[in-house]
């Protein structure tokens, strides 16, 4: 029977010391340990969540990049097209202007040529007149070299005047 009968002394010491143990461990050991464990669990969870978020953000960023790239390509094409259009229009305009200018120059040249020609013609006319006078002079001098002939001519001319 002695084995299964609780002993007062041990019961007393056990009750006392176990209560103290429970109190001390609760106050100074389990509190910090459990707190630390839950803190660690939370921090790990947070870290995982943050990694997940970062991954998502990166995906978003990546798709953004792609969008930007696409836009850039479109923009480039647009710019290139615009430039090409501009080139064509400039060339076209230049050509038109050149044509116009050329025409104008041509007109002016034509007018100048015309003028020159008219000048030349009138000059030639004067020259021919002068030549004719000189020739006539020479012929007259030649014809009036001797007095007889001069008399004849004068006679002829007086004759003619008399007739009138």
Partner 1 sequence: MTLLRSLVIVFVTFLASPTFLSANEEHAASDTISRKKFNTGDMIFSHIKDSYEWHITTIGHTHISIPLPVLLYSETSGFHSFSSSNFHHGEEAYQGFHIASEGKYQRKVVETMPDGTEVKPWDFSITKNVTSLFISIILLLVIFLSVAKRYKENFARAPKGIQSWIEPIVVFIVEDIAIPSIGKEKYQRYLPFLLTIFFFIFINNMMGLVPFFPGGANVTGDISVTVVLALFTFAITSYSGTKDYWMHIVNAPGIPLWLKIPIPLMPIVEIISVFIKPFVLTIRLFANMTAGHIVALGFYSLIFIFAEKSIFAGYGISVLSIVFTVFMGLLELLVAFIQAYVFTLLSALYFGLALEKHVHPEEAHK
150 neighbors 144 (Cβ within 8 angstroms): yes
Rounded to the nearest whole angstrom, what is the least distance from the CB of residue 23 to partner 1 in the complex? 9
Rounded to the nearest whole angstrom, what is the least distance from the CB of residue 31 to partner 1 in the complex? 8
- What is d(CA 69, CA 35) in angstroms, rounded to the nearest whole number? 49
Burial 117-138 (b: 16+ CB within 10 A, else e): eeeeeeeeeeeeeeeeeeeeee
Q: Which is nearer to partner 1, 42 or 78 (CB)?
A: 42
Rounded to the nearest whole angstrom, what is the least distance from the CB of residue 8 to partner 1 in the complex? 6
**C-alpha atoms less than 13 angstroms from C-alpha of 133 in its C-beta half-sphere:** 6
Q: Which is nearer to partner 1, 25 or 94 (CB)?
A: 25
Q: Which is nearer to partner 1, 27 or 110 (CB)?
A: 27
50 neighbors 42 (Cβ within 8 angstroms): no
3 state DSSP class of 61: helix
**Residues that bind partner 1 in the complex, under the rule CB under 8 A:** 2-15, 17-18, 20-22, 24-26, 28-37, 39-40, 43
Rounded to the nearest whole angstrom, what is the least distance from the CB of residue 24 to partner 1 in the complex? 6
With helix as H, strand as E and coil as C, how does 100-125 read?
A: HHHHHHHHHHHHHHHHHHHHHHHHHH
Cβ partners under 8 Å of residue 143, min gap 6: 149, 153
Q: Which is nearer to partner 1, 20 or 51 (CB)?
A: 20
Rounded to the nearest whole angstrom, what is the least distance from the CB of residue 53 to partner 1 in the complex? 20
Q: Which is nearer to partner 1, 8 or 141 (CB)?
A: 8
């Amino acid at each position: 029977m002695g084995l299964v009968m609780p002993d007062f002394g041990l019961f007393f010491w056990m009750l006392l010391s176990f209560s103290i143990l429970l109190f001390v461990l609760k106050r100074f050991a389990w509190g910090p340990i459990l707190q630390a464990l839950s803190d660690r669990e939370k921090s790990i969870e947070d870290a995982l969540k943050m990694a997940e978020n970062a991954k998502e953000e990166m995906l978003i960023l990546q798709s953004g990049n792609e969008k930007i790239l696409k836009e850039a390509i479109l923009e480039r094409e647009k710019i290139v097209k615009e430039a090409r259009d501009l080139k064509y229009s400039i060339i076209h305009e230049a050509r038109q202007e050149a044509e116009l200018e050329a025409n104008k120059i041509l007109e002016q040249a034509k007018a100048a040529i015309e003028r020159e020609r008219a000048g030349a013609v009138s000059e030639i006319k004067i020259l021919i007149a002068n030549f004719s006078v000189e020739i006539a002079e020479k012929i007259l001098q030649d014809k009036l070299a001797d007095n007889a002939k001069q008399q004849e001519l004068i006679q002829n001319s007086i004759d003619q005047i008399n007739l009138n």
